[in-house]
């Protein structure tokens, strides 16, 4: 069962819907290594956007699932990131610093960031600020 925080404005059912969308998109990942990653985000208006990782043969131009979902959101005309979930078949798979930069820019320090290691597994929810507590404030 998902572990969601109380009073986040996102229901258990919404987290499960986001997770299912992320796992579905993850199947499309184009990888050179072993880790397929999916992401799904929720905007303030309730729209969902997904992304998966896309790895370049030389690995210097990889596109992370979180950034893929965020750029898809922006391309559709939205910039109000409320929450994002990242799914991968490994322990606690949280966004890297670069992905957190984008999450902070479009969702702010209170943006909810969730992770799930297996379909139907526990959903761990953090705020962006908890994952990068020393992020520069501007």
pTM: 0.93
Dump the DSSP string for the chain.
Answer: -----TTSS--HHHHHHHHHHHHHHHTT-B-SSS--EEEEEEETTS-EEEEE-B--TTSTT-B-HHHHHHHHHHHTT---EEEEEEEESSS--PPPHHHHHHHHHHH-TT-EEEEESSTTS-EEEEEHHHHSTTPPP-
Q: What is the CATH number of domain 12-131?
A: 3.40.140.10
Q: Print pLDDT tens along the chain (138 aa).
A: 345 566 678 999 999 999 999 999 999 999 999 999 999 999 999 999 999 999 999 989 999 999 999 999 999 999 999 999 999 999 889 999 999 999 999 999 999 999 999 999 999 999 999 999 887 765
């Amino acid at each position: 069962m998902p572990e969601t925080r109380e009073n986040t404005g996102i229901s258990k059912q919404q987290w499960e819907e986001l997770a299912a969308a992320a796992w579905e998109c993850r199947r499309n990942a184009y990888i050179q290594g072993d880790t397929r990653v999916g992401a799904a985000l929720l905007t303030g208006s309730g729209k969902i956007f997904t992304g998966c990782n896309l790895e370049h043969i030389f690995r210097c131009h990889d596109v992370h699932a979180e950034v893929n979902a965020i750029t898809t959101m922006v391309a559709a005309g939205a910039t109000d990131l409320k929450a994002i979930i990242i799914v991968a078949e490994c322990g606690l798979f949280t966004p890297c610093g670069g992905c957190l930069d984008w999450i902070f820019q479009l969702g702010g320090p209170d943006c909810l960031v969730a992770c799930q290691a297996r379909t139907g597994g526990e959903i761990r929810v953090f705020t962006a600020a908890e994952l990068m507590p020393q992020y520069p404030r501007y």
